[in-house]
Amino acid sequence: MLIRRPKGYVLKDNDVTPQPSYLRRREFLAAFVAAGGTLALPNAAQAKRFSQTDYAPLTGHKTGYSVKDPLSPWEAVTTYNNYYEFGTGKADPAKKAHKLITDPWTVTVEGEADKTGTYALEDLIDYNALEERIYRHRCVEAWSMVIPWVGVPLADVLKKFAPNSRAKYVQFFTKYSRKEMPGTFWPVLDWPYREGLRMDEALNPLPFLAVGVYGRVLPNQNGAPLRLVVPWKYGYKSIKSIDRIGFSETMPETSWNQSNAREYGFYSNVNPLVEHPRWSQASERVIGPQRGFAGALARRDTEMFNGYGDAVATLYAGMDLHKNH
Ligand SMILES: Nc1nc2c(c(=O)[nH]1)N[C@H]1C(S)=C(S)[C@@H](COP(=O)(O)O)O[C@H]1N2
Ligand SMILES: [Mo]
C-alpha cells in the first residue's frame, strides 16, 4: 500500500521545526493513528506522556550544523532510547528515567588539569549562549535518527578546566545512583557508564554537550541534564547524564569496550567497512517520519564517519581503522 505524505510534512533543509510545522506533524500523526495506523514506536501510548510542550523551552541560535534529511519526530527521539541504567529495552528509559534527580546537578573534574574541582552545572553552561545543531545519530544497532540538539561545543567547556600537557585523553562518567536507576540493579555493564575520547578528538569543533533537544530542556531519557553528542562515532560514545570528567595521560576505560572488547573498540568511529558481529554497518534503518508508513521503513547507506569525514578524517591519518575500531 502506498500512502502519500501530505505536503509540508517533510521538513525542509535547515528547518529547526518551528512550532506550527511541528504541530502540523503531530496532528498528522494523530490522524494517522486514529485512522488505524501505527507509529511503530515501542509504546505509542507512552509517547503521549512526553509531549514536547511539557518541557521548558530552551532556544539555541541556529548554526550551519545541519543534515539534509527530515528530523526524526519528537515522539521517536524521546521514546526510542538506549539508556541501560533504566533497562535494556528501547521503551524502558521513557518509562523509568523520571526517577533520576537532575536538579541540583554538579560535575566533578579530576586528573590532568589546572582547574579541577566540583562545578555546578550552571557554572559550566551559559544558558544564554546556546546553539542548536542538527546531527545524524547512528547507533551501532544499525538505526539512525536526525536530532536537533541544543547545547554548547564540548571544547569550550573543556578549555575552562585548563587541561595540562599530560592530558592526552578525557573520560566521562554517568551519574550512578542505584536508587534512581533501576537498571543498575543488574550487572549489564560495569557501572557507572563511562566513555572517553582522545584530547584532539574532544577539542574538534563537532563534539557537543547537549542540555536540550527540539528547543526544550532534555528529557531524562535523552540524558538530562548534560549529555555528550559525538556525531561521527556510534551512539554509545554519546554518554548521558554526565557528572564526572577526568583528564589522563593514558587511554581510559570505556564501558562497552570493557564489556565486550571484540565488538566495541575505543574509537568506535562510524565505518561501513568495519563489520560488527551482530549488526551490519553498511546500511541503517531510518527512525524518522517514514517510520510507520505501512511498515515501510526507510533505509540508507551508512556513510564513512557518519558523513562527517571532512571534519574528522585527519584525526586518524595513518591509523589502521580495522584494528582501531
Ligand atoms: N549513560 C548512558 N549513556 C548512553 C547509553 C547508556 O546506556 N547509558 N546508551 C548509548 C547508546 S547505545 C546510544 S545509541 C545513545 C542513545 O541516545 P538517545 O536515546 O538520546 O538517542 O546513548 C548512548 N549513551
Ligand atoms: Mo547505540
pLDDT for 32 equals 43
pLDDT for 26 equals 41
pLDDT for 100 equals 97
User: 85 CA distance to ligand 1 centroid (A)?
Assistant: 10
Of the listed ranges 63-77, 105-119, 202-216, the least confidently predicted one is 63-77
φ/ψ of 110, rounded to 5, equals: -140, 165
Instruction: Round to whole Å and give the CA distance between 135 and 303.
Output: 13
Counting ligands in written order, the one closest to the CA of 83 is: 1
User: Which residue is associated with the grid cell 584532539?
Assistant: 200
Q: Evaluate whether residue 3 is within a structural domain.
A: no
The string of pLDDT tens digits covering residues 20-65 is: 333 333 444 454 445 444 444 444 444 445 789 989 999 999 999 9
* Count of beta carbons in the 10 Å neighbourhood of residue 56: 9
Q: Evaluate whether residue 122 is within a structural domain.
A: yes
Assess whether pLDDT exceeds 80 at residue 72.
yes
- Which three cell numbers mark 154? 564540548
The string of pLDDT tens digits covering residues 154-213 is: 999 999 999 999 999 999 999 999 999 999 999 999 999 999 999 999 999 999 999 999
pLDDT for 8 equals 30
Counting ligands in written order, the one closest to the CA of 142 is: 2
Of the listed ranges 43-47, 56-60, 230-234, 255-259, the least confidently predicted one is 43-47
Is the distance from the beta carbon of residue 74 to the nearest atom of ligand 1 less than 6 Å? Answer: no
Instruction: Name the band, by pLDDT with cuts 50, 70 and 90, for residue 221.
Output: very high
Q: Evaluate whether residue 324 is within a structural domain.
A: no
pLDDT for 50 equals 72
Counting ligands in written order, the one closest to the CA of 279 is: 2
* Structural domain boundaries enclosing 169: 13-316
* Alpha carbon nearest to ligand 1 atom 10, residue: 236
Question: Can you tell me the mean pLDDT for 88-105?
Answer: 96
Give kind and range of the element (H or E) at residue 133.
Answer: strand 131-139
CATH number of domain containing 251: 3.90.420.10
What is the domain count for the chain? Answer: 1
pLDDT for 288 equals 75
Instruction: Name the band, by pLDDT with cuts 50, 70 and 90, for residue 290.
Output: low
Is the distance from the beta carbon of residue 220 to the nearest atom of ligand 1 less than 6 Å? Answer: no
Is the distance from the beta carbon of residue 191 to the nearest atom of ligand 1 less than 6 Å? Answer: no
Using only C-alpha atoms, what is the Rg of the chain?
A: 19
User: 235 CA distance to ligand 1 centroid (A)?
Assistant: 6
Q: Evaluate whether residue 1 is within a structural domain.
A: no
Assess whether pLDDT exceeds 60 at residue 6.
no
Q: What is the average pLDDT score of the chain?
A: 87
Sign (positive or negative) of CA dihedral 33, 36, 40, 42: positive
Instruction: Name the band, by pLDDT with cuts 50, 70 and 90, for residue 298.
Output: confident
pTM equals 0.86
Strand positions, DSSP E, 268-322: 283-286, 299-301
Residues with CB under 5 A from ligand 2 (ion): 82, 139, 235-236
Assess whether pLDDT exceeds 90 at residue 296.
no
Q: Evaluate whether residue 92 is within a structural domain.
A: yes
User: 235 CA distance to ligand 2 centroid (A)?
Assistant: 4
Q: Evaluate whether residue 218 is within a structural domain.
A: yes
Q: Evaluate whether residue 8 is within a structural domain.
A: no
What are the C-alpha distances in Å from 319 to residues 316, 323, 325? Answer: 5, 8, 10
Is the distance from the beta carbon of residue 264 to the nearest atom of ligand 1 less than 6 Å? Answer: no
Is the distance from the beta carbon of residue 224 to the nearest atom of ligand 1 less than 6 Å? Answer: no
User: 318 CA distance to ligand 1 centroid (A)?
Assistant: 30
Determine contact, residues 270/139, Cβ cutoff 8 Å. Answer: no
Counting ligands in written order, the one closest to the CA of 177 is: 1
Question: Can you tell me the mean pLDDT for 202-226?
Answer: 98
User: 294 CA distance to ligand 1 centroid (A)?
Assistant: 28
Question: Can you tell me the mean pLDDT for 69-78?
Answer: 92
Q: Evaluate whether residue 302 is within a structural domain.
A: yes
Instruction: Round to whole Å and give the CA distance between 175 and 191.
Output: 9
User: 119 CA distance to ligand 1 centroid (A)?
Assistant: 24
Assess whether pLDDT exceeds 90 at residue 225.
yes
In angstroms, how far is CA 257 from the centroid of its own chain?
A: 18
